[in-house]
Chain A
């Protein structure tokens, strides 16, 4: 059974609404919900229409409304004690900069994020430790975060964990490149002539 609770914008900081689901609703999707990675996201209509006259009267009105309304917040409130939670306890974290990439391994300079007074550490790690989705980011100069700790699974099992995540950086846009060209010309005119 799904319980829907409508929350005014003022309480949701601009989000149209949020949903309160009970445990049974997580296993199935009704007509208004959609599954996304195991989480049900509810489309919930606000009671206020654009004209302020109430609920939509026709299917077309409702469709238009749905297009304009935001998706419900992904916030899902579970009843207390309904599910055990997965917990992660981080023991160590570094920020790394890739300095060299080989066939099966890569080298990096690590800075301890818990104690910045410690000197730089140099490490060689197997490429297979990097998530496949991140491997295209494994280039000289790439930045990553390495965390080591313990993970308590949903079933209560304790596991030692290590996670390497490459930082995704923005891409150069045409406009940014144009600005670089223009700035380079200014700098060269100012400093490159003698």
Chain B
């Protein structure tokens, strides 16, 4: 299974494909499920290439996208792309086109669109045989799906407005959080799901959900880059075993890089096994001509550069026997 996608900065290739190729995985036949947790550019880049190579995979995305309003944004992106140079949302459209091609070739039985519009409690995958694994969507909630059309509706361009990139829609409660279970190990993948005030949406809805498999997880991919909004006390008390390995993916762009120092301290109070895929996520920008440096010092209130090193964390656990999973870090990844 491949969940979301990002590109390696130096090679412009989807990291998931590089990793699976390095393991000798036959991507065309052995990747069985591709999931896009949500449509933001930091989760979607390269996903169309991943899916195009995963010829046997089924595709799942958030049921919150299944409305005319989101498809209007998709349609508008065709015109936004050349003007605002934002091609990220077109990855989603490319996947839909690939699904349509597979339909026409008769290699799919579905009538059209994704194989799964993921929502709270929906099983997405089940392997058979010894050590069978299951994947279940834990979100979005019904309330989120009801709200989604109105939220996307606000993003649809209006006559005379300037053509520009689509702003990130927040709060992010449309993400697909996943539960991956095997007889020996369960993992919670938090996507960018946030905690919102409404108990029927976000993490509180998962904690209270009657349709969720009632299991305690052994490891967690921390939600929303370790932000405070992506956290919730009940995740750690209700959904996780104590002191689990926790993995954070940083977000270096924007006003406030994530996780912040406060976020790190908060997460460290949750577990002693906190890892980050790239740390620190930013570094000093490249040195330039002295006149340029002087101007930068005078003008820029802050200036940093995204780290070029994209790290990876590998957790390996037996599918059949209980035991302590092994964790390895590569490149810029490290335990905090």
Number of residue pairs across A and B with beta carbons under 8 Å? 160
Which of B182-190, B240-248, B297-305 is the interface stretch? Answer: B297-305
Q: How far is it, in angstroms, between the C-alpha of A34 and the C-alpha of B9 when the chains are bound?
A: 54
Query: Could you name 25 residue pairs across A and B whose Cβ atoms are closer than 8 Å?
Result: A91-B291, A92-B292, A107-B254, A117-B10, A119-B305, A120-B252, A122-B257, A126-B299, A129-B299, A137-B162, A169-B84, A169-B164, A171-B161, A172-B160, A172-B163, A181-B72, A183-B75, A184-B68, A187-B74, A188-B71, A191-B71, A191-B112, A192-B66, A193-B113, A194-B112
Binding site for A on B (CB under 8 A): 9-10, 66-68, 71-72, 74-76, 78-79, 83-86, 93, 96, 99-100, 110-114, 117, 156-168, 252-255, 257, 282, 285-286, 288-289, 291-292, 294-296, 299-308
Q: Report the 10 A-B pairs with minimum CB-CB distance, sorted nearest first.
A: A141-B165, A183-B75, A191-B113, A184-B72, A184-B75, A124-B301, A100-B255, A141-B164, A188-B71, A124-B302
> What's the least CB distance linking B310 to chain A, in Å?
10
Determine the distance from Cα of A177 to Cα of B78 in the docked complex, in whole angstroms.
12
CB distance from A79 to the nearest CB of B (A): 34
Interface residue SS majority, chain B? loop
User: Shortest distance in angstroms between A98's beta carbon and chain B's nearest beta carbon?
Assistant: 9
Provide the bound-state CA to CA distance between A13 and B305, in Å.
Answer: 47
The residues in A between 109 and 128 inclusive whose CB is less than 8 angstroms from any CB of B are 109, 112, 117-126
Q: What's the least CB distance linking B210 to chain A, in Å?
A: 25
Say which residue of A141, A169, A177 sits within 8 Å of B159 (CB atoms).
Answer: A177
Contact between chains at A174 and B306 (CB < 8 Å): no
Verify if A139 is at the interface (C-beta below 8 Å from B): yes
Take A141-B166, A172-B157 as given contacts and tell me if A122 and B71 are in contact as well, using a CB distance cutoff of 8 Å: no
Most chain-B CB neighbours within 10 Å: which of A92, A121, A122, A160?
Answer: A122
- Distance between Cα atoms of A99 and B83 in the complex (Å): 17
Contacts of A68-117 to chain B: CB distance below 8 A: 91-92, 97, 99-100, 102, 105, 107, 109, 112, 117
Q: Are B295 and A162 in contact (CB under 8 A)?
A: yes
A173 within 8 Å of B (CB atoms): yes
